[in-house]
Amino acid sequence: MWSHTRSLELLVLAATVAPAELIRVATAFGPAAKAGADRGRAARRGLLGAPAAYLLVTAVALAVAAGGGFVPDTLTDWRTGAPWLPAAALVGATLVGAEFAVGAVPRLLDGTGRPRLSVHRGGGTAGGGVGGGYAAAVLVTAVAEELLYRGLWIGVLHARLRLPVAVAVAVAAVAYAVGHLFFGGLAVAQKTLSGAVFGLLMVVSGSLAVPLTAHVAQNAAVFALAVRQERGARPAGGRRVAG
């Protein structure tokens, strides 16, 4: 029979599954979604709201974990060898292509057309304009996601609840992916892959700094694609700039 502490651990994990979804849903279906609403303002609200939600949920979850005495070692071990960080950055950038490959499978199977590499424009990302605010938002969100889903989730599931490490990595990857449900089921599949890779990086390296580096590198690559996509969508002299 589980103790009160383990029930608290599970409650904390369940509360961190998709912290940004309420912000994104409110942006999509709230007053900002009405006819004539300022879409740019709605996008900016989502851009600021998602990282703010992650920061709040992360802070509360870590505070509860500290108060309950179940902060796992995965949250406190940041030491790593120098070769791990450039390797992690390379893996993170490569994951962009891996996610694209996952996303291309349905189009190739149903013959709906040639897949095109692009980033999501909804939910307060590139749709609100690409700039420093977007870069800061994805950086903050990446840090919060790694603290939650690799540091807290894997640590609690494996070290505290005694699940096999492979199961802990897989469950944490799915929890991380569900946080992207607003972008559709395909995005969940893509992020499950990335989440599993981030988890494996942490387990193999023994340091949370390694998946964090990979995650930031992945987001940086996506940011570069978003900038290119935004420029390609901008009219220049009455013509569209080639993407």
Confidence check: pLDDT of 128 > 50: no
pLDDT in tens, 144-201: 999 999 999 999 999 999 999 999 999 999 999 998 887 888 889 999 999 999 999 9
Global pTM value: 0.82
Residue 79 has a pLDDT of 92
Nearest to 92 by CA among 224, 212, 174: 212
Q: For residue 211, give the nearest of 164, 165, 168, 149 by alpha carbon.
A: 149
Per-residue pLDDT of 169-182, as tens digits, reads 999 999 999 988 87
Residue 243, pLDDT score:
31
